[in-house]
Chain A
Amino acid sequence: MDFINMTVERTNVQLTKADFESDQMVKWCPGCGGHAILAAIERVFPKIGYRKENFCMISGIGCSSRFPYYVNTYGIHGIHGRAAAISTGVKIANPRLSVWTITGDGDSLAIGGNHFIHVIRRNVDLNILLFNNQIYGLTKGQYSPTTPMGKITKTSPMGTIEHPFNIGELVMGAQGTFFARVPDNNIALMTDCMFEAAKHDGTSVTEIMENCVIFADKAHAPVTGKDVKDETMLILKDGSPMVFGKNNEKGLILKDTMLDVVEIGKNGITIEDILVHDQYSQDPGIQLMLAKLAPPHFPMVFGVIRSAMYPTYDDLVEEQIKFARETSKIKNVDDLLNSGDTWEI
């Protein structure tokens, strides 16, 4: 299945789910979205085809961040908010590793917000999986930077008075090159998007709308619930028209400078009029508009929203080192110590 980064060594044996199963007991709550995400990872890693020793999982703190213990790869369970920074060091030090950064809405958007925007801006070749459950789970139910305004939580007994981040908007604002959004109840879509993320050279951010059964149960149900999802979810596919609805009878068009929902077959609208998704567009204009859509007036879009080609930080590091090695007279530390003004006594 098409091109995948060649700097990471490939395996010559067919790996399976068993190759990545850890011997550790998974300690997430029953019904937690984490279980489905773990299943998707165990499916996608063998498919990616890298040597199993070349995978590295780095996390911060929070429920999501226990993830590395549950997958048999090299891994670090880091400190709160710093997964992106630790991952950056791993990837720069050894670009032949496939680095996966596991984080949550509190970890990456609150305490780790600074590292999050800068890793994206630099386009370090990492795959960030951001578990967005809109709550602090491990500390038992305080609001997070993605909790909807007005939501009652342990630290907002009268409802939050903060505007939540839209993760896609934040990623694109930080000049992100890859953004995908998936629900935790669709393992096939999750697997596809993770594969796309792995293929992308640069920082990929995959927002996984994860359910926290204990502290924010069904927070995503108004969008991803089985009963409503036909009307509230639009799953993007590159090169295909943006349609949704039970029979794909609805679609998005660009009307003046805004997106609009239309019904195919009504008012002379045909499938030809519907916007076609271009995830590879350099210009993030439409992609940003897509990332911001939300019910009730619009569906929320899922799948790979943006996947644009830009040089990666780690490639540029290697290029500069290669150039310096070819052109500098200083080849070793003895050369360095004796360079410049020296004299004999």
Chain B
Amino acid sequence: MTKKKRPVIEREEVVVKFVGDSGDGMQLTGSMFSDVAAIVGNDLATFPDFPAEIRAPQNTVAGVSGFQVHMGSSKIFTTGDLVDVLVAMNPASLRSNLKWAKKGATILTDTDAYDDKTIEKAGYKANPFTDNSLDGFNMIMAPITTLTKASLQELGVENKIAERSKNMFALGMLYYIFNRDLNSSFKYFEHKFKKKPELIEINKIVLQAGYNYADTIEALESVIQVSAAPMEKGRYRNITGNLGTAWGLLAAAEKSGRPLFLGSYPITPATEILMELAKHKSLGVKVFQAEDEIAGICSAIGASFAGSLACTTTSGPGLSLKSEAIGLAVITELPLVIVNVQRGGPSTGLPTKSEQSDLYQALFGRNGECPVIIVAASTSENCFYYSYMAAKLSMEHMTPAILLTDGYLGFGSTLFRIPKMADMPSINPPIAEANDSDYKPYKRDHETLVRQWAIPGTEGLRHRIGGLEKENVTGVVSSDPINHQVMTDMRAQKVEKVADFIPEQEIDGPDKGDMLVVSWGGTYGSVHSAVSKMQKEGKSISHAHFHYILPLPKNTIKVLKSFKKIVVCELNSGQFVNYLRMKFPMPNIFQFNKVQGLPFMINELTDKFNQLLEEK
């Protein structure tokens, strides 16, 4: 490889986005690019951005699919707000993504994709190359399709097949721009196309051709170097939030010795959890794709009664359908993990976009007094840990737990330091012993108020539970008024007592000061980044990010009372903030909300925080 001597510019962090038609292979291109970044030791976070339709009409804005990579030589917390390098394979993807490009960003585009028809289909009035809309960007205009075909001419590859590998040409160019090595991608081709050796050759040639082409062009003044990030020693992999959630459940099943059962119905953006668990029958997981959301949760309740770690996975509309059955799990006091990968609502809403607007539903969306444990993951990586914890708490406390993640976490990926199962916390479900003559269905542990799990098939423990109120201890059907009060209180107190088993709320920054920023769930990265930026500027600001919603950590009130102002940031109209206000009526709790199906931008957060700090 001959390489022109170009200056190398060291960058701490860079955001790259690949966009093109749904069929252009942008997801693959993006993940190959991020894999190489991971191998050289960058920290990174990725996010796929695709339409709700499978193949919307070609060359339209509706059909644009994208993949964003945020990589850095320091810790990466978000998938990035604005883009430094945009690879746009056609006019529609350029038009729909230009608004995310930073001022002066590098834009690589395939000039062959621009003709009167595609320009019009993208909604442009004129060719964007001539209408000044690209002024101020560093444009790399390359005839990618032509060059791809030319590179394969000697092999005699059909034009149609050659065209399909144009994404690899673009990737080759990016590898040059980022000073990356091609070898790991070559190895990937060799592995992926083992059964189609001709594709190994084609992809290698095109990737190399793109790399070489980038070396020759004038538009590039320098190459970018993103060095390795200082990372904790260990074995790493990429993980999406949905994968993490699925694996956390498998881990909890193994640790607890309870077989895993998943009863679920496909729904975006939660389906990947169902698909992932269906792959792992070798670990004994039983996956039941039910006829609807209700059958999903009801089968899980049956499996829980039968002694499984039972789970159901869904998104907002599915959680609505499951409400009545959650009540059954609450009154029967059976463990059950309900995963809600939140999306934009109400109703079908924005299925592929992210929101935090199901918190009220998780807290209050059932008939009767019906408390459940609520846990929320905050990064794609810690979906593993919090699904594990939801399962642990649910089994140990014999009550359903809702795990809230969201589409942003579920689809997004981060690096994951692989834990050892031996290091995971123990899980000890209260299984009743055979022939225990004192066994009663609702006899409770004095400390935790937890009843025992008596598993069908066990000798001497036959009993009936169900949706009708039961007498405390004996489990006999009862509509006695005092007993109903007792049981209602027990169910609530049992969930509150979980607070004794979860960590205290941590504060990022000084534990008192002018302002505390509060957040929960998938907004961690952007809120953390905004707060640390202001801390570096010397502002008196701290951050408390909540993972345990019900119950709240025991020191929550102490944390809140240590600051002059509190601002709660959420991607909804103010659900956690109102929950906090209800629990801890305080006049100084402010809120910042956004309901656009998009994550917070760091700038909009710092603007709000600065404004609040300045106000008297």
Contact = CB atoms under 8 A, between A and B. Distances in A.
Contact of B298 (A75, A89, A327, A332): A89
The interface centre, meaning the residue of B38, B282, B332 with most chain A CB atoms within 10 A of its CB, is B282
A333 interface: yes
Interface stretch (A185-193, A198-206, A250-258, A337-345): A337-345
Interface string A45-59: 000000111101111
A68 interface: yes
A82 B298 contact: yes
A332 B283 contact: yes
Interface string B122-148: 000000000000000000000000000
Chain B CB count within 10 A is highest, among A334, A338, A344, A345, for A345
Contacts of B304: 89
Contacts of A342: 235-237, 418
Contacts of B301: 76, 78, 86, 89
Q: Which interface residue of A57, A90, A91 has the most chain B CB atoms within 10 A?
A: A90
Contacts of A151: none
B302 A77 contact: no
A92 B261 contact: yes
Interface stretch (B451-459, B529-537, B564-572): B451-459
B234 to A, nearest CB: 6
A93 B310 CA distance: 9
A341 B534 CA distance: 37
Interface in A67-108: 68-69, 72-79, 82, 85-94, 96-97
A52 B461 CA distance: 11
A180 to B, nearest CB: 24
B306 A94 contact: yes
Contacts of B295: 82, 85, 88, 114-115, 118
A79 B41 contact: no
From DSSP, what is the main secondary structure of chain B's interface residues? mixed
Nearest to B460: A53
Interface stretch (B62-70, B90-98, B172-180, B464-472): B464-472
Given A334-B421, A337-B247, A74 B462 contact: yes
B457 A53 contact: yes
Interface in B314-345: 324-325, 327-328, 332
A338 B254 contact: no
Interface stretch (A271-279, A301-309, A317-325): A317-325
B283 A330 contact: yes
Contact of A89 (B235, B300, B466, B477): B300
Nearest to B40: A343
Interface in B269-295: 280-284, 286, 288, 290-292, 294-295
Interface in B453-504: 456-468, 476-477
B246 to A, nearest CB: 10
B237 A90 contact: no
Contacts of B467: 61, 77-79
Interface in B395-440: 418-421
How big is chain A's contact interface, by range? 35 or more
B282 A94 contact: no
Contacts of A79: 298, 324-325, 327-328, 467
A163 interface: no
A332 B421 contact: yes
Nearest to A94: B306
Given A85-B302, A86-B301, A345-B231, A53 B462 contact: yes
A53 B295 CA distance: 26
B303 A341 contact: no
A97 B477 CA distance: 24
A96 B247 CA distance: 27
Given A58-B302, A345-B236, A77 B310 contact: no
A24 B465 contact: no
Most chain A beta-carbon neighbours within 10 Å: one of B238, B280, B302:
B302
A333 B468 contact: no
Interface string B14-39: 00000000000000000000010011
Contacts of B233: 345
Interface in A216-235: none
A7 to B, nearest CB: 12
B121 to A, nearest CB: 37
Given A333-B251, A337-B418, A75 B291 contact: no
A75 B464 contact: yes
A193 B254 CA distance: 42
A115 B302 contact: no
B35 A341 contact: yes
A100 B477 CA distance: 21
Contacts of B420: 334
B463 A74 contact: yes
A247 interface: no
Contacts of B254: 332-333
28 contacts: A22-B464, A24-B477, A53-B460, A61-B467, A73-B464, A76-B301, A79-B298, A82-B325, A85-B263, A85-B290, A86-B302, A89-B261, A89-B301, A89-B302, A92-B286, A96-B457, A114-B291, A114-B295, A325-B284, A330-B283, A331-B282, A333-B421, A334-B421, A343-B236, A344-B235, A345-B232, A345-B235, A345-B236
Given A82-B325, A344-B235, 18 more contacts: A54-B456, A73-B462, A74-B461, A76-B305, A77-B466, A89-B303, A90-B306, A93-B259, A93-B310, A94-B306, A94-B457, A114-B291, A114-B292, A114-B295, A330-B280, A333-B251, A337-B421, A343-B235
